[in-house]
A = this chain, B = another copy of it.
Amino acid sequence: MRSSSGEMTRPVSPDQTYNADYDYKKIFIEELRPKVIVLRLGHRAERDKRITTHVALVARAFGARGIIIVGDKDPMIRSSLEKVLNKWGGKEYFEFKEEDDYKKVLREWKKDEKRCVAHLTMYGIPVDRIISEIRERCEELIVIVGAEKVPREIFELADYNVSITSQPHSEVSALAVFLDRLYEGRELYLYFRDAELRIIPDHKRKIVLKGKNINI
């Protein structure tokens, strides 16, 4: 690990076009605990293609270690995600799987006591009331996000049914806010070591560093 939590470093850009006043904070994936795998249930290839892709991108960007998709097989999701992993980083650790049987996945997972299952649902307990217990108790966590109808059984299988508001919105936003609470906002600074594209934040311009040696 090349940085301790919260270390601030200044970017060094080859062409000096970046905003030199900008402090670049870095968090590495190892610093985000518990480890999370997202389980996307009930994916329907036609209807959910873009939503499931967005769920996968949120999983990666907000510090999860992988995603398992249960439902229709859909090579488009994998290829969209792989493009992002190759360009923006994460392929060293981020796992993509498709499975047929979520019960088998959860049964295997729960053999280890330090592993938990959280299910995001508008019917569950507000995230702020339960997140510190999840953070303390669980070493590894599956986070279930469903498509429209989730089998009743999931409410029983989950250790935690968690709501991000009790209002209808989106599994994409629910997952992002859940991971943001779990990692206490630190995931916003997640640094992908193997990125071939890296943005230098700027007020007005699009500044992107490209190539194999763009460590800042």
Contacts and interface: CB of A to CB of B under 8 A. Distances in A.
Interface residues of A, number: 53
Count of identical protomers in the assembly = 2
A48 B102 CA distance: 29
A109 interface: no
A176 to B, nearest CB: 4
Nearest to A122: B199
A122 B205 CA distance: 11
A168 B84 contact: yes
A107 B123 CA distance: 42
Contact of A176 (B161, B163, B176, B187): B176
A40 B204 CA distance: 20
Given A51-B54, A61-B168, A168-B61, A126 B188 contact: yes
A158 to B, nearest CB: 9
